Amino acid sequence: MAWLVTGGAGYIGAHVVRAFQSEGIDTVVIDDLSSGHESFVPASVPFVRGTILDRPLLDATLRDHDITGVVHVAGFKYAGVSVQRPLHTYEQNVTGTSTLLAAMQDAGISEIVFSSSAAVYGTPDADLVTEDTPKNPQSPYGESKLIGEWLLRDQAVAAGLRHTSLRYFNVVGSGTPELSDTSPHNLFPLVFDALVAGRAPRINGIDYPTPDGTCVRDYIHVADLAVSHVAAAKRLDGGESIEAVYNLGSGDGVSVGEIMSTVAVVTGISFTPEVGPRRAGDPARIVASGELAARDLDWRMRHSLAEMVSSAWAARQAVR
């Protein structure tokens, strides 16, 4: 008996696998390695290379490994790129989720933890985002994640699926140096890559109505996020009540300027960020409440900003 982690060779998925391991719960990974790395999968964890769009492969994986529940992290995760590749985004995130749910139903598997996103909110007009904040996704990626939540909701009505969706905000850091964020679009990798190349990182806009003029965002440590996936799985497995969605947010947020200053201290590389104009549509502040997740999913901010940066930098250094 094991939990299947789709996308378990990726940055977030691999941390989820390790969080399950720390609780003594067996996992199996399926990943097509489009953005993941086979080296991220522990040698002791069965690895199936392939896409969740491959229904026969899914059926065999669920059957052969005696899967009892699924953590669904696989997907196309680049919001900006999704605007240029909407059909690909919907295929990976909507058709993929639908295919997975159908395979689960036929295999008699009724528990799933879904990787959703803060992108379902778009640009919220709220100082503190809660699970009830209106949804207004502004990219095919955000739309695909909201549709994923709807698929789970409707499958629960139709077939008794037990589920929860975890809405991530800005995931950073590393729980172990061999797992680094290799996304070409995320802030920390962009900043580190610039420094390694001898360039100054860029800040987009310093005239926002925030304490230092730069955007404030909600940054959470990937290892903290992974713990809550396991807590959600255990809650489902134990038949306990669970909310349909949870925000994994800090409740506070930090500014891009604070991040730049912390990066300079942690790396020992002194720099003055390049300043560019605001990006169209960037709100001054997006911060989320994590109260529901703290109540039910062992959610808390276990890492300071300095620890987030230092762990991410150590992982970046390890792959040089």
Length of the chain: 320
- The angle at the Cα of 52, spanning 240 to 19, to the nearest 5 degrees, equals 45
Question: CA-to-CA distance for 54 and 56, rounded, in angstroms?
Answer: 6
CB 281 within 8 A of CB 208: no
Residue of 11, 141, 168, 219 with catalytic role: 141
246 flagged as catalytic: no
Say if CB 115 and CB 97 are below 8 A apart. no
Element (H, E) at 149: helix 140-159
Tokens of 246: 């949870």
Q: Which of 199, 198, 168 is nearest to 186 (CA)?
A: 168
Strands (E), the chain: 2-6, 27-31, 47-49, 67-72, 111-117, 162-168, 170-172, 202-204, 216-217, 219-221, 245-248, 254-255, 274-276, 285-286
Helix (H, G, I), strand (E, B) or coil at 55: helix
Cβ atoms of residues 204 and 276 within 8 Å: yes
Shortest CA distance to 89 belongs to which of 74, 104, 101, 100? 74
Give me the amino acid identity at 244.
A
Long-range contacts of 50-56 (CB under 8 A, 24+ apart): 51/96, 52/6, 52/96, 52/97, 52/99, 52/100, 53/91, 53/92, 53/95, 53/96, 53/99, 55/99, 55/102, 55/103
Give the CA angle between residues 185, 190, 196 to the nearest 5°: 150
* Catalytic residue positions, numbered: 141
